[in-house]
Structure 1
Amino acid sequence: MPDTDSDTTSAARILVVEDEAVVAIDVRHRLTRLGYTVAGIADSGEEAVRLVGELAPDMILMDIILAGKMDGVDAATLIRERYAAPVVFLTAHSDRATLRRAGAAGPYGYLIKPFEERELQSALEIALYKSRMERKLAKTERLTAITLKCLGEGLLTTDETGQVVFVNPAAETLLGVAAAAIVGQPLEAVYRATPGEADGPTGREQAVLHCPGGRDVPVEQTTSPILDAQGGSIGTVVVFRDVSQRLMAEQALRDSVANLRCALAETVNALTVTSEKRDPFTAGHQQRVSHLAAALAVRLGLPEEACEGVRVAGLVHDIGKIHVPAEILAKPEALNAMEMGIVHDHSAVGYEILKSIPFPWPVARMVLEHHERMDGSGYPGHLGADAVLLASRILAVADVIEAMNSHRPYRAAPGREASLAEIRSGRGRLYDPDVVDCCLELFLREGYQL
């Protein structure tokens, strides 16, 4: 039937079914005066059914007593089954038996002859409104039913007693049970799940669904009450979905990240060993600088990931020394200006070696800047404090402390007190004051040992 929402009578097309020609003509004139359109006139039940199929009227105004084998009640019943078209009975028969039989046909109104035009209009308008509302409701129900059936998540709905009244195909598949065996059963009998933790901001609960046959399926589930207009519970809806594939993908991703971190750690260790093989006199220097720098980063309150970046940069901060000839590294006396220039290049060389490695931290830049100083007197870029990373300033202090506590071919180790005096005298001028203060507390108050 056409789905019209018009509130004007001119939009309504009426099929008149009346076997008395005079009455049919009178009804036609009345409908026309009221602004309706007469779609056609039939004088038998058989013809009425045929015309409804051909003309698709908005309303059928039908007498009960008709010519032919099929009376109005039979015709109305068939029309309702085939076309769901609304029928208003127009008859002179108002006895209880006739009314009972007519009511079984599901009419939208009942008008007793003779009648006034206002009675006719009222009956038709009420019937048309009821028909429009029912079509809207039926359309909404169809859309909802199709949506629920196509939903990829399992859905169970119960009534107020807790018995299942609806199961969508996805729920049948996940549970491994046909809907016919689920509907009418208590929810707890067909949906057995061990709940876990809520899944973050979504509020969905992790659970393990125990299916027939001993099959357990990890799911996400949401249980919500269905409330009436007064806030009373009239049922419950449970939505759930299989998350097995997602959990496997997440585990695979975690394993992949762990493997990548392991490969990165081994790569860093290999670089550390490579650089220290070139200078056996400083063996262990990078590890000790890395340990101290990481301790300073933690004490300064840097995030865990940033502290890890400082630790890794410390392990490779002298990788550029593979560029320095071995005889310069092992020279047992002070270096001349040319040799010192070659040594000073190691920060930039280290940067060039590391800049293409996709570290999750600015390791190459930290290596480049670890010999810069607050006043711009460092190398290789003579950068001031504002241009140098905090992580680089941490490495600078750790490097000075460790270097002054280790022997070199050309000198004995000045020792702990001398190294602490060095950073104390250069506080704010050469070295970051916060890093210096942190380092002093670490050694003097907490007894840190290299």
Structure 2
Amino acid sequence: MAEASPRPRVLVVEDEAIVVMDLRRRLERLGYELAAVADTGEEAVRLAGVVAPDLALMDIMLAGPMDGIAAAARIRERFSVPVVFLSAHTDPETLRRAGEAVPHGYVIKPFEDRELGTALEIALYRSRMERRLAENERWMAMTLAHLGEGVVTTGPDGLVRFVNPMAEKLLARPGDEVLGRTLAEVYQTRADEDMESDDGDSLLLCRADGASLPVEQRFSDILDDRGQRLGSVVVFRDISRRREVEQALRESVVGLRRTLKETVNALTVTSETRDPFTAGHQERVSHLASALAARLGCDADTCEGIRVAGLIHDIGKIHVPSEILAKPQSLTPLEIGIVRDHSRVGYDILKDIPFPWPVARMVLEHHERMDGSGYPHGLSGEAQLQGSRILAVADVAEAMTSHRPYRAAFPLEAMLDELRDGRGVRYDAAVVDACLEVLTDGTFQF
């Protein structure tokens, strides 16, 4: 069973004993608890700090130098206790002075229980709302004070009304130099022409000390519940450190790409020293394959991956004996089997290198065919990567138009006939079409 809420505690400030007795009975009936009784303003202030009441019910006319109005103002200022005035005086001057004390209610003597209860309930409700608002404002103030972003707000007149500590630091201006001025006077930026930004909004903040600071900013309007503009806010942050990290990352990527390029070149040279008769074959296949990928609409990164795979697609031939690679006669079935194994060997060499593309798999599959007649696994159709299907066509086109120890180069037209004959059967139809286009329209030459 839930516990009953504690009864609100009331400090009664009244110098007539009979009135105090009456108030005690009324408060009991209305569900309130009498926290304490004071008969002077000074005693009311003291007790407010001692008993911490939920509210004070105070007569205006009290004995001594401090009347109820002065005591109410002191209690509100020191302890934030809501005060309801209880008085028979309704003259304009008394009401004016009472209003200056900002009371939470005013009950005119004589009164009924209903009037007193209503006044106390309204006072308690107002007090709770004010306390909640004050707490929210404190939370907001603390959050803004410790925020890592600068915040500047303006009112409907365009003048700055708030600036948080981080904004003061980034602007190199104390708050008293910012408040009351236009935003354009205190917050000025210019384009950073030396830095390319992904979002095209690279800005430098012009600080009061003459320095420039790279920033990221957001502007927003402040609207009321009816959509009317109350002002604006700009939130900005120092991105100097981010710029440094991005620059270091770019330099690292450049270094990694250079290392990758040198590694691929070393692998290419290694494989071609084993087969001098096909020197340049991998490079020519690489150029044709990347041209085909571009013609097929592949993005730049995919084209680069296919180019790299083409440069080392025959790396597995380092396991083939030189006498087989340079043999001027047709190969025996055993020798053919050894040569065909170069795709798998190439895959084994490359599979653990962390390329940003599936290079090892393209090397493994570049002798597969669409109808499953290729090797080493007899893959067919879409089971092969698109890059593998592109390499297969480029490899056939280059090999047929180049001299080999056991045969002379085929004429260009014979190679084109082979592609046309195998289109959609052995070779990917779209890749064949792209190859025929680039080889006949002058786009590409070996």
> What is the deviation of 1:206?
4.1
Q: Contact 2:203/2:216 (CA < 8 Å) preserved in 1?
A: yes
Residue number in structure 1 paired with 2:172: 176
Change (3 A) 1:402 1:177: same
Counterpart amino acid of 1:150? H
Whole-Å Cα distance in 1 between the matches of residues 229 and 431 of structure 2?
63
Whole-Å Cα distance in 1 between the matches of residues 414 and 388 of structure 2?
22
Bigger mean CA deviation after superposition, 316-325 or 25-34: 25-34
Aligned sequence identity (%) = 63
> What is the deviation of 1:69?
4.0
Does 1:265 find its partner at 2:261?
yes
Counterpart amino acid of 1:441? E
Gaps of 5+ in 2: none
Does 1:135 find its partner at 2:131?
yes
Q: Contact 2:314/2:343 (CA < 8 Å) preserved in 1?
A: yes
Whole-Å Cα distance in 2 between the matches of residues 95 and 429 of structure 1?
107
Number of equivalenced pairs: 441
Q: Contact 2:14/2:38 (CA < 8 Å) preserved in 1?
A: yes
Residue number in structure 1 paired with 2:79: 83
| TM-score for both structures, normalised by structure 2 | 0.92
Please give the secondary structure, in 1, of the residue aligned with 2:176.
helix
> What is the deviation of 1:196?
7.5
> What is the deviation of 1:22?
1.2
Match of 1:59 among 37, 55, 58: 55
Bigger mean CA deviation after superposition, 188-197 or 127-136: 188-197
Q: C-alpha deviations, 1:16-49, integer Å up to 9, x for none?
A: 1111111211222222233322222222222212
Match of 1:424 among 420, 434, 440: 420
Residue number in structure 2 paired with 1:46: 42
Change (3 A) 1:209 1:434: same
Residue number in structure 2 paired with 1:113: 109
Match of 1:227 among 209, 223, 226: 223
Please give the secondary structure, in 2, of the residue aligned with 1:139.
helix
Please give the secondary structure, in 2, of the residue aligned with 1:11.
coil
Change (3 A) 1:49 1:205: farther
Q: Contact 1:158/1:237 (CA < 8 Å) preserved in 2?
A: yes
Whole-Å Cα distance in 2 between the matches of residues 298 and 75 of structure 1?
86
Residue number in structure 2 paired with 1:331: 327
Q: Contact 1:28/1:38 (CA < 8 Å) preserved in 2?
A: yes
Does 1:295 find its partner at 2:328?
no
Bigger mean CA deviation after superposition, 373-382 or 145-154: 373-382
Match of 1:19 among 8, 15, 20: 15
Whole-Å Cα distance in 2 between the matches of residues 92 and 395 of structure 1?
102
Q: Contact 1:205/1:221 (CA < 8 Å) preserved in 2?
A: no
Q: Contact 1:288/1:402 (CA < 8 Å) preserved in 2?
A: yes
Change (3 A) 1:75 1:330: same
Whole-Å Cα distance in 1 between the matches of residues 197 and 300 of structure 2?
24
> What is the deviation of 1:359?
1.0
Q: How does 1:182-193 map to 2 (within 5 A)?
A: 182-193=178-189
Whole-Å Cα distance in 1 between the matches of residues 52 and 437 of structure 2?
93
Whole-Å Cα distance in 2 between the matches of residues 129 and 375 of structure 1?
83
Q: C-alpha deviations, 1:144-172, integer Å up to 9, x for none?
A: 22222122111001111111111111111
Bigger mean CA deviation after superposition, 332-341 or 358-367: 332-341
Change (3 A) 1:340 1:125: closer
> What is the deviation of 1:192?
0.9
Whole-Å Cα distance in 2 between the matches of residues 322 and 99 of structure 1?
105
Whole-Å Cα distance in 2 between the matches of residues 309 and 200 of structure 1?
24
Aligned Cα RMSD in Å? 2.4
Change (3 A) 1:248 1:359: same
> What is the deviation of 1:195?
5.6
Match of 1:393 among 378, 389, 395: 389
Change (3 A) 1:356 1:156: same
Counterpart amino acid of 2:130? E
Does 1:148 find its partner at 2:140?
no
Gaps of 5+ in 1: 1-5
Change (3 A) 1:341 1:28: same
Residue number in structure 1 paired with 2:316: 320
Whole-Å Cα distance in 2 between the matches of residues 140 and 200 of structure 1?
38
Does 1:281 find its partner at 2:277?
yes
Q: C-alpha deviations, 1:379-411, integer Å up to 9, x for none?
A: 222333343222212211211111111111222
> What is the deviation of 1:431?
2.0
Q: Contact 2:89/2:108 (CA < 8 Å) preserved in 1?
A: yes
Q: C-alpha deviations, 1:316-374, integer Å up to 9, x for none?
A: 01111111122222222222222222222211111111111111111111111112223
Whole-Å Cα distance in 2 between the matches of residues 14 and 270 of structure 1?
90
Q: Contact 1:406/1:415 (CA < 8 Å) preserved in 2?
A: no
| TM-score for both structures, normalised by structure 1 | 0.91
Bigger mean CA deviation after superposition, 289-298 or 373-382: 373-382
Q: C-alpha deviations, 1:397-430, integer Å up to 9, x for none?
A: 2111111111112221122122112222223332
Whole-Å Cα distance in 1 between the matches of residues 60 and 305 of structure 2?
91
Whole-Å Cα distance in 1 between the matches of residues 253 and 197 of structure 2?
22
> What is the deviation of 1:205?
5.3
Whole-Å Cα distance in 2 between the matches of residues 117 and 127 of structure 1?
15
> What is the deviation of 1:313?
0.9
Change (3 A) 1:253 1:382: same
Please give the secondary structure, in 1, of the residue aligned with 2:205.
strand
Q: Contact 2:172/2:209 (CA < 8 Å) preserved in 1?
A: no
